[in-house]
Amino acid sequence: MKADFTRWLPAIAKTTNRRTVLTISGVAVLGGLAFGPTAVAAPVTTGPHAGAVAAIDLATGKTREGATAESALTTGAGAGTSTPSTGKPSRDELIPHGVEGAQSRIPLDDAQVANARAIVEAAKESGVGERGAVIGVATSLQESKLYNLGHLGAYNDHDSQGLFQQRPSSGWGSPDQITDPEYASKAFFGALKNVGGWRELPLTAAAQTVQVSAYPYAYAQWEEQAADIVAQLW
């Protein structure tokens, strides 16, 4: 079991034409961050401190000057409401069984929004629909806080990497594959589709059947924010 981290470490990133991977040369690690099956589920309701913000900006090449069209994803505004835009999924489609327990929420930077978008697009292509997208985004919020994490050295949970903290040694793919957001997301959804009756399961049960986490109820806390993200990106 990993000890809880109470601060972020400096971060750099390796960038390819497909992805940005945060690595140990000091990756930004938030207190309570989920590192795969043995992660501690700790609700996170505030953002990273200023040092982490600067590190992530440096790692991803992003700046925070000016609001973006996706800034609503970070505010939680409209949480628990239906989505008015034509063609957008309804709240009942996104959260058909209601949320389980207290909900957590974090602000998102550009890198996290881009990763969430990759998950949503993979959900569409995989045929799991809006509900599958919510399960995928919530799972990644728990496992990596929607950061595409490379190998973290001593901080790694075994060989877990990527948005879903998938393990090459468990057959999820090579390190390069599981740190490709599109590949990792489609691998997650492929496994989800093999879970019998997954659409009728509570989110935490569906996610846990795929992830086999030591903390199976941790995924539930992200359902509402995941639904808000999917509603806006769908």
pLDDT in tens, 31-77: 333 333 333 333 333 333 344 444 444 444 444 443 344 444 644 44
Q: Token pair for residue 81?
A: 């409401």
Residue 94: in which H helix or E strand, if any?
helix 91-94
Q: Which amino acid is at 211?
A: Q
Q: Is residue 151 part of a domain?
A: yes
Number of domains in the chain: 1
Are 127 and 208 in contact by the 8 Å Cβ rule? The answer is: no
List strand residue ranges (DSSP E) for the chain, in order.
Answer: 12-15, 20-23
Q: Is residue 149 part of a domain?
A: yes
Domain containing 158 — which CATH number?
1.10.530
CA of 21: how far to CAs of 15, 59, 103, in Å?
A: 6, 9, 28
Q: How far apart are CA 78 and CA 37, in angstroms?
A: 32
Helix 203-211 vs helix 129-144: crossing angle, to nearest 10:
60
Confidence check: pLDDT of 23 > 60: no
Are 27 and 155 in contact by the 8 Å Cβ rule? The answer is: yes
Higher pLDDT, 200 or 1: 200
Q: Is residue 135 part of a domain?
A: yes
Angle, CA 141 vertex, CA 140 and CA 144 arms, to 5°: 70
Q: How far apart are CA 142 and CA 190, in angstroms?
A: 19
Q: Is residue 4 part of a domain?
A: no
Q: Is residue 52 part of a domain?
A: yes
| Poorest-pLDDT segment among 23-27, 147-151, 170-174 | 23-27
Domain with 132 in it: 12-60+83-233
Q: Is residue 6 part of a domain?
A: no
| Poorest-pLDDT segment among 41-55, 102-116, 180-194 | 41-55
Q: Is residue 69 part of a domain?
A: no
Are 64 and 109 in contact by the 8 Å Cβ rule? The answer is: yes
Angle, CA 223 vertex, CA 72 and CA 110 arms, to 5°: 35
Are 175 and 24 in contact by the 8 Å Cβ rule? The answer is: no
Confidence check: pLDDT of 3 > 80: no
Q: Is residue 226 part of a domain?
A: yes
Q: How far apart are the first and last CA of the chain?
A: 36
